[in-house]
A and B are shown apart, each in its own frame.
Chain A
């Protein structure tokens, strides 16, 4: 298309970036925030405090509670808290209704938690784009493939990077931005390739369902039922009586002591259990499925052990998955990074932010270059220039508004979860109005970054004023996950303030430059 392959790739890189840059930024930004989904949920729900109970005592208490309150249910579920989530709950089904009870560190039970989407809002947004049905997943898949193409074409543009390390030239902003774009691109090559490839493979069959539909009546569901190992169906004919196992205890209690002992020999890490499911409660052939935490595997499927519920004897368990299914699970696991310890999580977050900066600087460079060359249609140039503000600064403002809405809306307000989401989209829309109303995009950037900085500091202030008790409790209990949000918002505020200030200085410099090129009236008068 262009004279050489390299020039064609540069052209393709430019247009992929310009057309899909905003969508990619939204997906990357909310995806990066999703590295801290359970932590954010914990921050946004004041009742989720640090839990220091041992797994043994939590399991004992859970089974005691379920035995008393859910004796008639046929399935029990116990979700143990991780260091990140502090969410300990039990769940069972009563007829058609599912009941969930959450426990805190003092073993108090509650069925009423703060109604909020929490961190899941950002995580779900990043692959559903808040669209109904599966539309968002298809669009996210297209974006992932476009990003892979953009990475390849971008690498080809700078394919000499092994011979020449990139540094940042600070003299001119445009050169600095281009250098930063190249540097960020190189730093995030393995990360972005892994994220985009795994993003596509999570829904590999959904995007190309034709073979599944041709071979299975239920299409993708049929494929999944074949490749995902499952346990045999339970007969559930004979009920357990007190005489059989534990002496005269009604209702009969699962032999979890024996199960925990077996597990401790096989899973050696601290707090190895993530979830326990009991199927066929009250029957002789009932089984317990214990799921391991994801700290020891990259895959999205952690180990599971299966036991007879009332004897504690181990059962056969799940078959291993086939290699292609494991490959997909490993990629899925890499994408979600549930295995990542805190330091690695921050590194991945940093890489995610670099990826966001990569996309944002790409679009900014496009605008700057087109302005210089003056060959671009002024309408599309203005659209992209202002749209960049909305896509980047607007999204940051909207995300901060979500947090602030959560903190300010009362606990008991009905439908508060929807109000938080509405705040997000309303602020994003207002950012668009502001960006297009402001004559100069640079001024819009400055003002929106300054506002974002203010909102970050405001979040800190709200926390310190309205949630003092929680802060005091957290300091006593060393709840570092919750407490770390305060300095995180503070530092974000400082960074956004610095960015706004830099842009402000550039605006002033540009104004001085334009004024000094105009001939002064005094000189003219003298010449007369």
Chain B
């Protein structure tokens, strides 16, 4: 379940990054991301999807872990891990 929370956060941050012009241009250097960009609607909508994915990850964490406070700690930890992963990925794009 935590892995799923992490994946949702990854996708959420990916959408938020792609919604920014600066990073959308970088995404042009990646074949996968170019395909993703074609599918995604306008920048505003992509931002909205990104935030909704992050909220969904929070809801999933709180629903799947019995103790709320431990769920929050998990969510915050995976959030940092997801943000680091996305930042490192975009840094590796030329």
Contact = CB atoms under 8 A, between A and B. Distances in A.
Nearest to B3: A343
A297 B73 CA distance: 12
B80 A191 contact: yes
Contacts of A168: 87-88, 91
Interface stretch (B15-23, B29-37, B38-46): B15-23
A188 B88 contact: no
Interface string A337-352: 1011001100110110
* Contact-residue size bin, chain A (C-beta under 8 Å from the other chain): 20 to 34
B77 A330 contact: no
Contact of A165 (B73, B76, B81, B87): B87
Contacts, number: 61
A298 interface: yes
Interface string A119-139: 000000000000000000000
Contacts of A183: 84, 87
Interface string B43-83: 00000000000000000000000010110011011111101
B84 A187 contact: yes
A48 B70 CA distance: 29
B77 A351 contact: yes
A320 interface: no
Contacts of A167: 23, 26, 87, 90-91
B77 A348 contact: yes
B89 to A, nearest CB: 9
A298 B77 contact: no
A95 interface: no
A165 B20 contact: yes
A347 B78 contact: yes
B83 A344 contact: no
B70 A339 contact: yes
Contact of A190 (B22, B23, B76, B87): B76
Contacts of B11: none
B2 A165 contact: no
Nearest to A345: B77
A380 interface: no
A164 interface: yes
A349 to B, nearest CB: 10
Nearest to B23: A165
Interface centre among A163, A190, A191, A330 (most CB of B within 10 A): A190
Contacts of A343: 2
Contacts of B76: 190-191
Interface string A275-308: 0000000000000000000001110000000000
A382 to B, nearest CB: 33
Given A187-B80, A297-B67, A298-B69, A166 B87 contact: yes
B23 A351 contact: no
A298 B77 CA distance: 15
A347 B77 contact: yes
Nearest to A299: B69
A360 interface: no
Nearest to A334: B73
Contact of B69 (A163, A330, A348): A330
A354 B88 CA distance: 14
A170 interface: yes
Nearest to B66: A296
Nearest to A298: B69
Contacts of A334: 73
A452 interface: no
Interface string A312-339: 0000000000000000001000100101
Contacts of B87: 165-168, 183
B38 to A, nearest CB: 21
Contacts of A344: 73-74, 77
Contacts of B88: 168
Contact of A351 (B2, B13, B80): B80
Contacts of A166: 87
B73 A298 contact: yes
A186 interface: yes
Contacts of A347: 77-78, 80-81
Interface string A128-167: 0000000000000000000000000000000000011111
Contacts of B78: 347
A340 B76 CA distance: 13
Interface centre among A166, A167, A296, A347 (most CB of B within 10 A): A167
A340 B69 CA distance: 11
B21 to A, nearest CB: 10
Contacts of A350: 81
B10 to A, nearest CB: 13
7 contacts: A164-B20, A165-B16, A166-B87, A187-B83, A296-B67, A298-B69, A347-B81
Given A190-B80, A298-B70, 8 more contacts: A165-B86, A167-B90, A168-B88, A183-B87, A188-B80, A340-B73, A344-B73, A347-B81
Interface of B: 2, 13, 16-17, 20, 22-23, 26, 67, 69-70, 73-74, 76-81, 83-84, 86-88, 90-91
Q: Which 4 residue pairs are nearest across A and B when measured between Cβ atoms?
A: A347-B77, A168-B91, A298-B69, A167-B91
Interface of A: 163-170, 183, 186-188, 190-191, 296-298, 330, 334, 337, 339-340, 343-344, 347-348, 350-351, 354
